Structure 1
Amino acid sequence: MRGDTFVSAVTDAHFDLAAGECLALVGESGCGKSVLASALLGLLPQNAETAGSALIGDVDLLTADERTLARTVRGRRVGLVPQSPAAHLTPVRTVRAQLEETLRELADVRRPRPQLRKAAEEAAERAAFPAGHLDRYPHELSGGLAQRAATALALIGDAPLLLADEPTTGLDRDLVDRTVDELRKHVGEDRALLLITHDLAAAERIADRVAVMYASRIVELADAEDFFGATGPRHPYARGLLNALPEREFTPIPGMPPELSALPGGCAFAARCTGADEACGTVPQAVAGVACHHPHRAAVLEAPHA
C-alpha cells in the first residue's frame, strides 16, 4: 500500500533456482526487483501483502514467521548483499567487530582470538575490502567500501542461497568484475546465487540464466548464453536493454516505464514498442519463457506513431 493506493510491485513472478546456478534478475530501476528481494527475506513494510510461495528446502519464505526468518533463514539459508549497505551495517561498531561477530554466530569461529582476527581479515579479503579500513565505523566508509563490507558479511555463512541486490553499486569497473567473480565463487554443488542488477555486463559475466523484469512482471526468462549471444532476447523490452548498451547500438528505449501504481490494462510495454497491436491490449501470458504476444517479431524501438 502507498497511502490509500494499492501498488502491485511484483506480479506473477515464477522462476526456480537450482544449486550450482546463478540467475540474474535484470531491469530498469523501479521495476520491482528489490521489492522481490525484500519479500523473500520478510523485509517488506508491515502494510505490504504477499501471496504465493517461495520455497527454500522445507521453508516457505513468504509465510514463515519473523522468529523463523531471524533464527534459521537470514544469514543461514539466505545470505543478503543489500542494495543500501549503510542501512544494514551497525553504526556504532567497526567493520572488524561486525565481521568477528558474524563469524562467531554463523561460522562458529570462536577462539583463540588471533584465529578470529585472521578469519575476519580473510572474510574482508574475499570482498576486496582493504584490511587498513577494518577498524573504521560505517560512517567513515565511502559508498563503495560500505558495499564491500556488506558483501563480506553476506559471504561468511556460505548460505545455500546468496541474494545479491545491486552488489556493485558505487564500484568502478575493475571492482565490479572482482566483486561479481567472488559472488560467483559462492555457487557450488549445494549453493546458488540470485543476482539482482541493472548492470547487464555484470550479468553477462557470471549468470547462467537471465530473468528480465518490467513493470512488476518477469517478461523473459532465458539461458544467458542465448540471451547475450547470437540468438538474443525474444521480448522487445529485453532487446531494447541490450541495444542501449554502449558496446552495442547505444540506442535508448523510447519513453518511460509506467508507474507501478498506474499500470495499464494490457501489456505494460506496449506504449513504448512499435510492434504493439490490438492484441497487446490484454496482458500477455508467459509461453516458453517469454511474456509477449509477438515474441518473434523484430520490434523497432522507435517512438510509436501517434
Structure 2
Amino acid sequence: MRGGHHVAAVSDATFDLAAGECLALVGESGCGKSVLASALLGLLPGNAQTAGTAHVTRPGHTADPTRTTDAERFGTGPLGTEPLGTELLGADERTLARTVRGRLIGLVPQSPAAHLTPVRTVRAQLEETLRALTPTPKRTLRAAAEQAAARTSFPADRLDRYPHELSGGLAQRAATALALIGDAPLLLADEPTTGLDRALVDRTADELRRHTDDGRALLLITHDLAAAQRVADRVAVMYAGRIVELSDATTFFGDPGPRHPYARGLLDALPERAFTPVPGMPPALSDLPEGCAFAARCTRATDVCATRPALTDGVACHHVPAEATRA
C-alpha cells in the first residue's frame, strides 16, 4: 500500500523451479522482479500484503500439490519430526529466520552495500556465516573464509576491509560469496552482476551455473540478458507486475525466439541485435489498465487487448499466432 492506495506490485506469478535448474526473471526496472524475491524471504515492508502459496522443498524430496496441509504435502523427516518443505508466504518470522534464510534459501541482494554489516570486515562476516551454516572447525575458519571469497573472485588482500572501503563491484562480490556459503538448495540472485566488468560478469555467471549444476535451484533476477543467456535453463519475462512469457532459454535466445512482443522488444534492444529500444514507458503499478498492460506500447494492439490476456502455453498475448508466424 502506498499513500493510502493499493499497488499490485506482483500479480498472478506462477512458476516452478527444479533442483539443478536456473530460471532467469527479466524485465524493466520497476516491473516487480525484486518484490517477488523479497516476498519469498519475508522481507517486504510491514504494510505489504501477500496472497497465494510458495513452497520450497528440501533436496531429494518432491512436494505433492494435491495435499491440503504442509505435513501431507511434504511428508516428514526422521521419526516424523522434521517437515521436508516450507510454505514461505505463510511462514512466521521465527521460521524464516531460523530455517529459511541462508539455510533453505540464499540471497544475493540487489543493494549489497546496504546488506553488508558496516562495522565488521568482510572476513569477519564470512567467518560468522561459515560458523552459522557449515560445520567448519575453528582452526580452519580463516582458510575457509578465503576459499569462500575466491569463489566470487573477491581478492584475499581486501578481506580485512570494511564495507565502506569497498567499490560497488567488490561489495557485490562479497555479498555473493556470503550467499553461496551453506549451499542452500535455492539461491535468489537479485542483479548479482551489478557493478562488475564483463570478465567478472562471466566469472560470476559461471560460478552461479556451477552452483546450479551441483543440484541446486537458482532464481536469477537480472537486467543483463547476456548473463541470463549464459546461465539460464528457462526465462520468465515480467512486465507491469505480471509474467508475460515463460520459455525455454534455448528457444528464447535462439530460434524462433520470444513470442510475446515485449519480450521480443527486450532482445531487439540489445546492441548486438537490432539496437532498437522498446517505445514508450511502462504503466505505473498504481494505475494499471484493465486490459493488456503492454497494449499502449505494442504495434499489434487491437480492440481485443482491452481484456487482459491469461498466461496460456507460456505466453500472455492475444496475438501469439501472428507473432509465431512472423518468427
Deviation, structure 1 residue 87: 1.0
The answer (yes or no) to whether the contact 1:75–1:157 under 8 Å persists in 2 is yes
Give the whole-Å Cα distance in 2 for the aligned partners of 1:185 and 1:222: 22
1:82 paired to 2:82: no
Q: Which residue among 202, 218, 223 is the counterpart of 1:198? A: 223
> Which runs of structure 1 show a deviation greater than 2 angstroms over 4 or more consecutive aligned residues?
296-299
CA displacement 1:180-235 (0-9 Å, x = unmatched): 11111111454111100011000000100000000000000000000001110000
The answer (yes or no) to whether the contact 1:163–1:194 under 8 Å persists in 2 is yes
Deviation, structure 1 residue 108: 1.9
Corresponding letter in the other structure for 1:89:
L
Gap change, CA 1:190 and 1:230, over 3 Å in 2: closer
1:215 paired to 2:240: yes
Deviation, structure 1 residue 298: 3.6
Give the whole-Å Cα distance in 2 for the aligned partners of 1:207 and 1:132: 32
Give TM-score scaled by structure 2 length.
Answer: 0.90
Give the whole-Å Cα distance in 1 for the aligned partners of 2:248 and 2:323: 20
The answer (yes or no) to whether the contact 1:275–1:298 under 8 Å persists in 2 is no
Partner in structure 2 of residue 38 of structure 1: 38
1:289 paired to 2:314: yes
Partner in structure 2 of residue 93 of structure 1: 120
Give the whole-Å Cα distance in 1 for the aligned partners of 2:287 and 2:32: 14
Aligned counterparts, 1:121-200, within 5 A: 121-188=146-213, 190-200=215-225
> Which SS does the other structure have where 1:233 is aligned?
coil
Give the whole-Å Cα distance in 2 for the aligned partners of 1:263 and 1:108: 49
The answer (yes or no) to whether the contact 2:202–2:227 under 8 Å persists in 1 is yes
1:72 paired to 2:99: yes
What's the C-alpha RMSD, in Å, of the aligned pairs?
1.0
Q: Which residue among 238, 243, 255 is the counterpart of 2:263? A: 238
The answer (yes or no) to whether the contact 1:209–1:223 under 8 Å persists in 2 is yes
Give the whole-Å Cα distance in 2 for the aligned partners of 1:240 and 1:178: 27
Give TM-score scaled by structure 1 length.
Answer: 0.96
Corresponding letter in the other structure for 2:276:
T
Unpaired runs of at least 5, structure 1: 300-306
> Which SS does the other structure have where 1:297 is aligned?
helix
Partner in structure 2 of residue 18 of structure 1: 18
Give the whole-Å Cα distance in 2 for the aligned partners of 1:261 and 1:166: 24
The answer (yes or no) to whether the contact 1:10–1:217 under 8 Å persists in 2 is yes
Corresponding letter in the other structure for 2:227:
A
CA displacement 1:102-127 (0-9 Å, x = unmatched): 00110121321xx1100000000001
The answer (yes or no) to whether the contact 1:275–1:297 under 8 Å persists in 2 is no
Partner in structure 2 of residue 9 of structure 1: 9
The answer (yes or no) to whether the contact 2:193–2:204 under 8 Å persists in 1 is yes
The answer (yes or no) to whether the contact 1:125–1:131 under 8 Å persists in 2 is yes
Give the whole-Å Cα distance in 1 for the aligned partners of 2:226 and 2:213: 22
Give the whole-Å Cα distance in 2 for the aligned partners of 1:229 and 1:100: 43
> Which SS does the other structure have where 1:196 is aligned?
strand
1:102 paired to 2:132: no
Give the whole-Å Cα distance in 2 for the aligned partners of 1:260 and 1:180: 31
CA displacement 1:249-288 (0-9 Å, x = unmatched): 0000000001111111100000000100011001100110
Q: Which residue among 287, 305, 319 is the counterpart of 1:262? A: 287
Partner in structure 1 of residue 51 of structure 2: 51
> Which SS does the other structure have where 1:186 is aligned?
helix
> Which SS does the other structure have where 2:23 is aligned?
strand
Greater mean alpha carbon deviation, residues 280-289 or residues 184-193:
184-193
Aligned residue pairs total 297
Corresponding letter in the other structure for 2:231:
I
The answer (yes or no) to whether the contact 2:260–2:323 under 8 Å persists in 1 is no
Corresponding letter in the other structure for 2:244:
V
Greater mean alpha carbon deviation, residues 184-193 or residues 203-212:
184-193
Give the whole-Å Cα distance in 2 for the aligned partners of 1:3 and 1:213: 25
Unpaired runs of at least 5, structure 2: 58-84
Corresponding letter in the other structure for 1:82:
P
Partner in structure 2 of residue 304 of structure 1: none
Q: Which residue among 234, 238, 250 is the counterpart of 2:275? A: 250
Partner in structure 2 of residue 273 of structure 1: 298
